[in-house]
Amino acid sequence: MSKSVPELVTPKERRSSHQTQWAAQFAVASELCKRGYEVAFTMGNRTPLADLMVVSPKEKTMFLVDVKGLSRPNAWIIHKKQRRDNLFYILTHVPDDRSNQFFILTQQKIDAYIDSYLKRHGRSQDYKFTGFNWSQVKDDENEWGILPA
């Protein structure tokens, strides 16, 4: 008697945001490990600062990575955080039917994208719902070189 293997979620089914976020975090951790980084997960899905603690392969510099995951190309919903020199964002598209996409950005660039979006839409800096359009990060795809070496 053989066990059946569950199939991937079909594009017609909606994956939960919780599943998408975990898929994104594991995908990012895997990519970082392949590049020689040491990676540790922070505790839980709602960590206030970042999802991953990372040590660079050459300089042994510790930095933080906040992972944002989407299963479909929608707006990136990101809230500004207090400025930190060692915080990076990896926005991750984890579709069901294609390879993952990774967009690597500094915290300063994320803040600039959010500010630009708020200004363009006439919203104040304390607007509760912040983020920016999917297309804004296209030039940041696979920019792994911005991370500490």
Q: For residue 43, what pLDDT is reported?
A: 77
Higher pLDDT pick, 72 / 48? 72
Q: For residue 18, what pLDDT is reported?
A: 76
Give per-residue pLDDT as tens, 97-149: 999 999 999 999 999 999 999 999 898 888 888 999 999 999 999 999 999 99
The whole-angstrom separation of Cα 100 and Cα 68 is 13
The whole-angstrom separation of Cα 38 and Cα 12 is 36
- Per CATH, domain 17-146 is 3.40.1080.10: no
Q: Where are the beta strands (DSSP E) in 94-133?
A: 101-106, 131-132
The whole-angstrom separation of Cα 93 and Cα 68 is 9
Tokens 């008697």: give the residue.
Answer: 1
pTM: 0.86
